[in-house]
């Protein structure tokens, strides 16, 4: 198990948690997206690449992955566990973000170890809420079918 921070989380947060984790003694390695992929790499490109390696846990400051159709489908299809830091994350100042991530970190590590691969969690207001993945997969397939039907009717 390894943690992957997307580009919506400052790289120095990954470096700080790696240092505090004593080189993997307290929790697994943390890798930031910028150390694996060029800046601006689309979610639909990096998520399947990580899935091919299978043991990644995504920590995302990008609420779009959990909401936008293509990004959500890429994540759901990947089978990777993901923790989404909530929609208010992006608007916070750096120190507030660090405080939030630090307050959630033990819960994230515990839930990543305890739950099977492929789970999804949303972190908000000090709460870690597990997502209903089966319902999310059904919902995204319905949305894709609806868009495909609209595209056929319009073209």
CATH code of the domain covering residue 145: 3.40.50
Q: What is the span of the domain harbouring residue 140?
A: 2-154
Helix (H) or strand (E) holding 110, with range, is helix 94-114
Q: Are β-strands 81-84 and 30-32 bridged in parallel, bridged antiparallel, or unpaired?
A: unpaired
The pLDDT confidence band at residue 30, using thresholds 50, 70 and 90, is very high
- pLDDT higher than 90, residue 149: no
Q: What pLDDT shows up at residue 147?
A: 80
Q: Cα separation of 153 and 36, whole Å?
A: 41
pLDDT at 152: 83
- pLDDT tens figures, 1-15: 899 999 999 999 999
93-134: per-residue pLDDT in tens?
999 999 999 999 999 999 999 998 889 998 887 788 888 878
The confidence score (pLDDT) of residue 36 equals 94
Query: How confident is the model at residue 66, as a pLDDT?
Result: 66
Give the per-residue pLDDT at 117: 87
pTM for this prediction: 0.88
- DSSP per-residue codes, 116-131: PTT-EEEEETTEEEE-
What is the reported pLDDT for 24?
Answer: 73
Mean pLDDT over 28-41 rounds to: 93
Over residues 61-102, the pLDDT tens digits come to: 987 676 778 888 899 999 999 999 977 888 899 999 999 999
CA distance 29 to 123: 21
Say how many domains are in the chain: 1
């Amino acid at each position: 198990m390894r943690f992957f921070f997307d580009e919506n989380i400052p790289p120095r947060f990954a470096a700080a948690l790696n240092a505090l984790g004593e080189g993997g003694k307290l929790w697994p390695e943390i890798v930031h997206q910028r150390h694996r992929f060029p800046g601006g790499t689309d979610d639909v490109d990096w998520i399947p690449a990580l899935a091919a390696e299978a043991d990644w846990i995504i920590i995302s400051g990008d609420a779009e992955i959990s909401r936008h159709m293509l990004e959500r489908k890429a994540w759901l299809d990947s089978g990777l566990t993901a923790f989404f830091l909530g929609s208010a994350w992006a608007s916070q100042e750096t120190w507030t973000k660090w405080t939030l991530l630090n307050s959630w970190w033990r819960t994230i590590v515990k839930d990543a170890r305890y739950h099977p691969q492929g789970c999804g969690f949303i972190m908000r207001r000090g709460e870690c809420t597990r997502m209903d993945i089966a319902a999310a997969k059904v919902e995204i397939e319905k949305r894709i079918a609806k868009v495909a039907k609209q595209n056929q009717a319009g073209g």
